Structure formats: C-alpha cells, structure tokens
Amino acid sequence: MTTHETTDPAEPAPTVKCVVWDLDNTVWDGILLEDGEAQLRPGIREVIVELDRRGILHSIASRNDHDAAVAELRRHGLLDYFLYPQINWNAKSSSVRSIAKSLNLGLDAFAFVDDDAVERGEVGFEIPEVRCIDAAEAAELAERPEFSPRFVTEDSARRREMYLADQERNRVEQEFTGPQDAFLATLGMTLTIVPAQEEDLFRAEELTVRTHQLNTTGYTYSYEELDAFRRADTHELLVARLEDRHGPYGTIGLVLVAKDGDLWTLKLLLMSCRVMSRGVGGVMINHLRRRARDAGARLRAEYLPNGRNRMMLVTYKFTGFRQLPGEDGPTVFEADLADVPDDPSYLKVEVLPGTDRAR
C-alpha cells in the first residue's frame, strides 16, 4: 500500500472531511447567469484535485440554475468531483445539512467556501460547527493543517470513487421494492476479516481519527500505538474489508482485543459510517463471540459515549452483551456466549488465516 505523509505529526489538527463550495465568484469568476460562461478562479482546479487525492470530499451549495451550472462544471471537467451537489435557490445552510445527511458525516467535518460574507454568516449562524472560509483564501486550502491528513492511503485516495459507488447503491435501493434483507441479498456482499498487517496501519489510524458515530469508545490511536498492539502477544488487532457487486468499500472496520488469560476485552470496535445499514458491526461482534467461546474465554467490551455513538451501544445490547456494575471509567459489558447466531444469509464472511490463532 502506497502512503504519503502530508503534515508534521507533531502538529495535529482536526481534519476536514468535505468541502462545500459556492460557485459564482468562488469556483469561477463572475455570475454564470449573467456572463453565460465563466473562467475558473486561479488555483481552484489544483486545490480541488489535491484535496480529492488526500481523501477530502467535495460538494456544492450554490444559488444557481441547476442545468446551467452542471453544464459549466462539466465543461471544466470538474463535475465528477462533487458529490450530492445542491444547486438550487434554498438557504445554503439547508443545502449543507442535506449534503451531510447524504454523506452520513457529522456537520463538524465540513468546511464551507463562499465569497459572500452574508452567505457565510447564514451558514455559520445556523450551523456553527461548520468552518466557513472566504473564497479569497480558497486557493491556499491545501496548505492549511485541517486540510492535511497525516497519511494518504489507497483507501483515502479512492474515497470519492467509493462514495460514487455508494450513490449508485442508494439509487438502486430506492428503486427496490421488498424487505431490506432481500435488497441486501442482491448486493453480493463479502466481508473479509484479517489480522492487521503493517500496511493496514495507516488506514487503521485514519479510521480512528475520522470515525465518531460508530466508535465504541472514541479512543484514537496513532500508527505507532497500533503497530505496538499488532506486535504484542497481549493484544489482537483485526481489520475488516467489504465489497459487493458495485465495487469495494475498502477497509471499513477495526477491532482491538486485549487478552489476559481467559479474559478477552474488546477495547475498540469501530466501523465506517458508510456501512451503518449493512449489519456489519453485529457480524464482527458475533465472530468474536464464537472465537471466545471456542477458546474457552470470557468476552467483555468497553463502551464510552461520545454524543454520537449510541448506535454502538445498541449493537452491543442486541448481540448478547449485558452491562456489568461499576461507575468509574468506561461502561463494561460481558457477552453471553451460549447462543451465537449464524451470519446473515445475505453476507459472505471470509476469515483469513491468523485470526483464529491462540494467544
């Protein structure tokens, strides 16, 4: 896996996950409906392409004629860079919220770029979590720490491609009539669970930093910490990858298990928000329940609420975990290993060699 370090790790900054662009006098000079055609502002193409390479997504919130703006973006070869573009006459804060919902990202992961101080003020007032940026600064975004993830992995460089595949999945799902399991069966999904290798650690670190909604503890780990866990006899670090007939989702899950004799403790379970509706979290947990049962071990799990990850609490409760008494520190659950269900029929699970090794 090819990786690139893009900023000094000694100066971490919360990374923007999506930039939402205005169009008139922001992406291009002038007002499209008045000028007919528009020239891109200096440096805009380069910054869009570079941020895309780093795995930062792009979208649009523009008051404009939809068809004319789409044609102009296509003429400049930029249309495919923008996911779920909102080109309409709505309030731009409404457009940003719509994009966030479509991408399933928290609003604090967004930056909004507009030349108009009133538009920036409207978004900033309605959604204070969003970073609002003057279009005069747009060409220099790639130099700012919040647009510079520590590592660029193969998964991050393909993030837009994977979201485009998600758009197609969503379109097909909306047109499907029938129960959810029947739709999932049409996808031909394969989940692969494998011990983390050195080349997986950059993506694993990226997952812990980027993922909040589906992180059981909110813990974040650096490459160096993850590598130490990977090498230690007292821990096991697993990654999960998912693909279907529309293409790969990439590495979408990370599991860290601490092992102390016959007591296994799930210190971290996180899943990419993009697979929230696929039931993968429960499959991962049941995989660990079966392994602990077969090894004669007890399986516990830690949970720390972070304001967004209640879904993971629900997942534990629906997969045979009961809460243990205790007030300080993380909530601790213990799994019932007596009756672990089979994996769902719509999902093929492949466990690669190494994940069943005894410690």
- What pLDDT, in 10s, does the model give residues 63-122? 999 999 999 999 999 999 999 999 999 999 999 999 999 988 889 999 999 999 999 999
Backbone angles phi, psi at 305, to 5 degrees: -70, 140
Tell whether the model's pLDDT for residue 8 goes beyond 80.
no
Rg (C-alpha) for the chain, rounded Å, is 22
Please report the pLDDT score of residue 269 as a whole number. Answer: 87
Give the pLDDT mean for 167-187: 90
Determine the Cα–Cα distance for residues 87 and 64; give it in Å rounded to an integer: 6
This prediction has a pTM of: 0.73
What is the share, in percent, of the chain residues with pLDDT greater than 70?
A: 93
Neighbours of 265 (CB within 10 A): 17
Average pLDDT over residues 35-54: 93
Does position 41 have pLDDT exceeding 60, yes or no? Answer: yes
Residue range 324-342: mean pLDDT, rounded: 87
Three-state SS for 235?
A: strand
Q: What angle do CA 356, 275, 303 make, to 5 degrees?
A: 65
Is the predicted pLDDT of residue 154 greater than 90, yes or no?
no
How large a percentage of the chain has pLDDT more than 90?
Answer: 60
Where does the pLDDT of residue 300 fall: very low under 50, low under 70, confident under 90, or very high at 90 and above? very high
